[in-house]
Chains A and B, each alone.
Chain A
Amino acid sequence: NAGVMQNPRHLVRRRGQEARLRCSPMKGHSHVYWYRQLPEEGLKFMVYLQKENIIDESGMPKERFSAEFPKEGPSILRIQQVVRGDSAAYFCASSPQGLTNSPLHFGNGTRLTVT
């Protein structure tokens, strides 16, 4: 049973380009969460999605960032017109149900570097 798959593992973008990060949740999981981690820091919640719905986007910057989780295919975190401050590790996690007493299963992250 494959775990949460994220790709690419590493992504380098120049300032102003777009970054697309993909996340395939564990089989049978319909809840996806995106987190951002800056060096030497903890994880900051960005967005929580269920199939075709954004449940909570309270951690998403208002501009340039968007996320989707379509009926078919992986969840996508999209960052438009990237800036140096977007450089970070982005982690996706999934759970079978949106319950606070369920552990989250994490992917190994995408490390975005903006040059």
Chain B
Amino acid sequence: SQQGEEDPQALSIQEGENATMNCSYKTSINNLQWYRQNSGRGLVHLILIRSNEREKHSGRLRVTLDTSKKSSSLLITASRAADTASYFCARGGREGQGGKLIFGQGTELSVKP
């Protein structure tokens, strides 16, 4: 699939635990973005990591990128029930395709109180 793969498809954890989601892709990238989608809502941008970066933090989020393995991971530390959502990675299209993003299939995270 050109859209890449995310795993796991679904993840269920207890509040306070860490959640790790992985994303693999097939083509070269300029950057990789992560988004969250709450049930019935649109996607919200979380973090963007550039191809020359290996790790990036934002609050309780940590994103890593390994361009040699064409993979990225999103770590949510000390999870809360409010983190329950679907999480998607997204990469840009080919050069010259403007701001179009191609999304993975997503990981559905459930955080139990």
Binding site for B on A (CB under 8 A): 4, 6, 31, 33, 35, 41-45, 48, 50, 55-56, 91, 93, 95, 97-109
Contact = CB atoms under 8 A, between A and B. Distances in A.
Nearest to A41: B105
A97 B98 CA distance: 8
B49 to A, nearest CB: 10
A100 B42 contact: no
Given A42-B106, A48-B100, 10 more contacts: A31-B98, A45-B93, A48-B98, A56-B100, A95-B99, A103-B45, A104-B101, A105-B45, A106-B42, A109-B41
25 contacts: A6-B42, A31-B99, A41-B105, A42-B88, A42-B103, A42-B105, A42-B106, A43-B88, A44-B3, A45-B100, A45-B102, A48-B97, A48-B99, A56-B97, A93-B42, A95-B99, A100-B100, A103-B45, A104-B43, A104-B45, A104-B101, A105-B45, A106-B42, A108-B40, A108-B41
A59 B106 CA distance: 19
A91 B42 contact: yes
B21 to A, nearest CB: 13
The 10 residue pairs across chains A and B that have the minimum distance between CB atoms: A100-B92, A98-B98, A106-B42, A103-B45, A42-B105, A98-B99, A43-B103, A106-B43, A42-B103, A108-B42
Interface string B17-37: 000000000000011010000
Contacts of B45: 103-105
* Most chain A CB within a 10 A radius of its CB, from B88, B103, B105: B103
A52 B33 CA distance: 28
A36 to B, nearest CB: 11
B48 A4 contact: no
A108 B92 CA distance: 22
B101 A101 contact: no
A101 B97 contact: no
Contact of B42 (A42, A48, A109): A109
